[in-house]
A and B are shown apart, each in its own frame.
Chain A
Amino acid sequence: MPALAGPFEDSVAKFANDEFSDTEAAIGEVAASGNALAPRIIGALQDGRLSADPDSKKVFITQTDGKIVDATTGAAVDKLPDNAAAVRLNNRLRRTVEAALGGLTLLSSDPAKRLAAAQSVFKSHEENLLPTVESALAKESVKPIKQAFAEARAAIILFKSDASDSDKLDAVAVVKARGDQEALALLTGLGDQPPLVAKAAASAVSSIQSNLAMWSMVQNAWYGLSLGSVLLLAAIGLAITFGVMGVINMAHGEMVMIGAYTTFVVQEVIRTRYPALFDYSLLIAVPLAFLVAGLIGVVIERTIIRFLYGRPLETLLATWGLSLVLQQAVRTAFGPTNREVGNPSWMSGAFELGQITITYNRLWILCFTLAVFAILLAMLRYTALGLEMRAVTQNRRMAASMGIATSRVDALTFGLGSGIAGIAGVALSQIDNVSPNLGQSYIIDSFMVVVFGGVGNLWGTLVGAFTLGIANKFLEPVAGAVLGKIAILVLIILFIQKRPRGLFALKGRAVEA
């Protein structure tokens, strides 16, 4: 190693050794050095912006604005040496970095950084950070961050061997008030404690646990709603082609898949041509997916299905064959591997509501599904096309005598069902694989929902989807995913025995038609 000026430089140079143990030592030494550059070095390391040249042992920071500085001096550098590579981290080091950065940014001027620092100290509960946390706590004026500092302080005290019992009891109370899974993890991992503290901790654990158990019911209900919305979205197009028209459409899933691939194509175009529009990609994809899938639906109806009305077995075989053809066509065009459909920023991440985590993508899909349902319902109820559709499906000959072009209405109805399946594909591309097999996994579930809800009734499909979703999610924690699914199928079979026409059976003449 070349001779270097001082211990700080020596420590920083260790980053260039490309050994995890040296990197770990360097993090500790740099964090403890008190050097003004330390937070920047560790922050850059966390984001993969710290590079090192293994030959000259020089270390560089690439700043967020793209400028490069020498890590030991802070002096600007023109460009990185050719053989400089980003300093590598593994999980253990990432934890070390988080803890070190937590200690360094506790007094940062950026509130978001202070909050993150407080949270990482809560997890790492490093004893030597106690004075810094206490001074930060005293200075803090933002309420949630003050709370986080108090919790971090409590965590440190609980793990401090020489803290007094009364301090520890107060700390248990603070952590208990936090009441989430991390608090639980902290309290259950306490280890040896004075008897009084251990007792308080045990009672806090059981109270958090019972509180969390209650929340887990809420959580299951939310997961059920979310699964139900996915089921509804996948089934709603089928509720039209199968439910309203009576066509057993095995290629329904492929319409969903085509919608997902439309999203992929839209995103590709946006990525290459108009990257600024990426967050709007889904909004652009929705109408396009409707048009593409709808158009393919109309073509299918005109060329295949219209010759097969009233022959369910032949329709089943023809559409099943068609689904294979469509899958293979997509496989040939786009390749057999998954395609990456990105999540726009407003679809990523989650927020906490009480003690449950709600992910944005699921929330948006739920809203989107309900919107699609409402629009479809309004369309069938209030538009001329909707009226014609209902007329044709209820009594074809009478509708024809009234001057409705029934074959045109058939094609449009099938196109509408397919188009809605295409819209479903846009949403499903956000939570599932975009591969040629995408549709297959939804076709059985879709038929299940439509049959369970009652053929020919959109409200039945809605209630059916949410019932199945919620039942599934309450069964899953008890029975496991595989058994849960089997149990649902058995329940549906039993239910259909009792009510062959589903939840909301159509009454009157339409039934006999």
Chain B
Amino acid sequence: MLTQLTHGIATMTRRRALAATAGLVLGLAASSPFAPAQAADDTIKVGILHSLSGTMAISETTLKDTILFLIDEQNKKGGVLGKKLEPVVVDPASNWPLFAEKARELITKDKVAVVFGCWTSVSRKSVLPVFKELNNILFYPVQYEGEESERNVFYTGAAPNQQAIPAVDYLMKEEKVKRWVLAGTDYVYPRTTNKILEAYLKSKGVAQDDIMINYTPFGHSDWQTIVADIKKFGSAGKKTAVVSTINGDANVPFYKELGNQGIKATDIPVVAFSVGEEELAGIDTKPLLGHLAAWNYFESIKTPANEKFIKEWQAYTKNPKRVTNDPMEAHYIGFNMWVKAVEKVKSTDPDKVIDALPGIEAPNLTGGVSKMLPNHHITKPVFIGEIKGNGQFDVVWKTPGLVAGDAWSKELEGSKDLIGDWVGKKCGNYNTKTNKCGGQGS
């Protein structure tokens, strides 16, 4: 009932906004009769589908600003195909069904050429049918659980083999970790990632007794018992580490409890996959010194491209303290790839752009060049960073080169024979054993 109600409120405000815009357009039309028609022809519309209210606003608002910033920069360079880019921002309000409605609105009403959006996997899953039905393009910038490759979606965040597996490898080699706590929030991303990690750890000879898996509800704030359990699990005489897929908001009380109970990174390091510069902005990081995060980008990485990006971003947001993070870089790469693809085919027609995107290369902010792969994932470097006292990360390890994203995990029984290939096989779940399209998934 509550959902319907929000929807009602949303449509009502939309109608009012429409009326207001109509008035504005009429006013403009009166002064220069050709203006609206010209505007429609002269711009390419870019949809931005990120929550600006509700629980996910904390993470997604920044991504909306990022795309606005990138569009602004591109327009300063003259736009794309001689046309200016025009952002269309909608607010799906952290409400999963509303994501699908807003996506439909962007594509059918605003006629956008491409959409940048979504954060949670459930929001991505909810807009998928819309993008398939209306044949448009979605760039998805967040690390996710994998096990998906869709023709209309381009995944610029990390797949599990670009974040989780290298992080575990690092702990095994550098920290000689023998016992593992897999702690996560109870939803699809942590559950799938932990399933992959559990299979991977067992393949490396870790015994079942040395793996502890723990799930907590969204927004969990009382971590006393779990932190005490971790402490107990860690006192079995073997080096122990925590692999955390705890989602955004719940991290702050988790880290506070770790600090207060005196668990230091030198005793039991925690490596997190959802904690970045933004999340740390809300806590005093001194007690967290040395805890780890695995990402494909850190703000502290010193490359000319990154320094330029940070400078321009802080100038654009007029906030010299505004941090940057990994999903922002994913949008940066994705946006530039889309621009290159459009310029290559000289059209914004989704079919042409989708076919042109695999193989397109765009520089990332850490000194490499990322490439769009036939499975619609990209190549990225993987970095392990340790939390510093100032809320930033110190990179302590990185992969020697770029890692290609696997749409389907090689560790899981159901997906190890599957590949996504939208160039040769025209199939998102091609089974290399049976040579047939359509294994597991869609």
Q: A interface vs B, CB < 8 Å?
A: 20, 48, 88-92, 94-95, 98, 181-182, 184-190, 212, 216, 219-220, 223, 226-227, 230, 317, 320-321, 327-328, 331, 335-340, 342-343, 348-350, 357, 359-362, 431-437, 440-441, 473, 476-477, 480-482, 485
Q: Is the CB of A340 within 8 A of B260?
A: no
A227 vs B252: C-alpha distance in the bound complex, in angstroms?
17
CB-contact partner of B249 in A331, A342, A433, A473, under 8 A: A433
Query: Which residues of the partner chain B approach A227 to less than 8 Å between Cβ atoms?
Result: 222, 224
- Tell me, yes or no, whether B88 is within 8 Å of chain A by CB: no
- Tell me, yes or no, whether B61 is within 8 Å of chain A by CB: yes
A348 vs B256: C-alpha distance in the bound complex, in angstroms?
9
Q: Is the CB of A476 within 8 A of B225?
A: yes
Q: Is the CB of B232 within 8 A of A181?
A: yes
Decide yes or no: A181 and B231 within 8 Å by CB, A338-B281, A340-B282, A359-B261 being known contacts.
yes
Q: Is the CB of B389 within 8 A of A48?
A: yes
Q: Is the CB of B265 within 8 A of A432?
A: no
Contact with A along B379-397 (1 / 0, CB 8 A): 0000000100100001010
Main DSSP-derived SS at the B contact region: mixed
- Tell me, yes or no, whether B175 is within 8 Å of chain A by CB: yes
Q: Is the CB of A189 within 8 A of B237?
A: yes
Query: Which residues of the partner chain B approach A481 to less than 8 Å between Cβ atoms?
Result: 214-217, 220, 225-226
Q: Is the CB of A441 within 8 A of B221?
A: yes
- Tell me, yes or no, whether B283 is within 8 Å of chain A by CB: yes
A317 vs B9: C-alpha distance in the bound complex, in angstroms?
13
A187 vs B238: C-alpha distance in the bound complex, in angstroms?
11
Decide yes or no: A350 and B260 within 8 Å by CB, A432-B252, A441-B219 being known contacts.
yes
- Tell me, yes or no, whether B211 is within 8 Å of chain A by CB: no
A374 vs B229: C-alpha distance in the bound complex, in angstroms?
34
| Chain A minimum-CB-distance residue to B55 | A437
Contact with A along B246-281 (1 / 0, CB 8 A): 000100110011011110011001000000001101
Can you report 10 A-B residue pairs in the complex whose CB atoms are below 8 A from each other?
A98-B266, A216-B232, A223-B225, A230-B222, A336-B61, A337-B62, A340-B283, A359-B261, A436-B57, A481-B215
Q: How far is the CB of B340 from chain A (nearest CB, A)?
A: 32
Main DSSP-derived SS at the A contact region: helix
A230 vs B253: C-alpha distance in the bound complex, in angstroms?
14
- Tell me, yes or no, whether B134 is within 8 Å of chain A by CB: no
Q: Is the CB of A482 within 8 A of B217?
A: yes
Q: Is the CB of B262 within 8 A of A473?
A: no
| Chain B minimum-CB-distance residue to A335 | B61
Decide yes or no: A357 and B228 within 8 Å by CB, A189-B237, A340-B283, A350-B260 being known contacts.
yes
Q: Is the CB of B58 within 8 A of A435?
A: yes
A94 vs B175: C-alpha distance in the bound complex, in angstroms?
12
A193 vs B30: C-alpha distance in the bound complex, in angstroms?
94
Decide yes or no: A185 and B253 within 8 Å by CB, A336-B58, A477-B225, A480-B215 being known contacts.
no
- Which 4 A/B pairs are nearest by Cβ-Cβ distance? A189-B237, A338-B282, A188-B237, A181-B235
Query: Which residues of the partner chain B approach A337 to less than 8 Å between Cβ atoms?
Result: 58, 61-62, 278, 281-282
Q: Is the CB of A357 within 8 A of B282?
A: no
Query: Which residues of the partner chain B approach A476 to less than 8 Å between Cβ atoms?
Result: 225-226
- Tell me, yes or no, whether B314 is within 8 Å of chain A by CB: no
A125 vs B142: C-alpha distance in the bound complex, in angstroms?
44
Q: Is the CB of B217 within 8 A of A485?
A: yes
Q: How far is the CB of A214 from chain B (nearest CB, A)?
A: 14
Query: Which residues of the partner chain A approach B219 to less than 8 Å between Cβ atoms?
Result: 437, 440-441
Query: Which residues of the partner chain B approach A216 to less than 8 Å between Cβ atoms?
Result: 228, 232
A48 vs B269: C-alpha distance in the bound complex, in angstroms?
19
- Tell me, yes or no, whether B37 is within 8 Å of chain A by CB: no
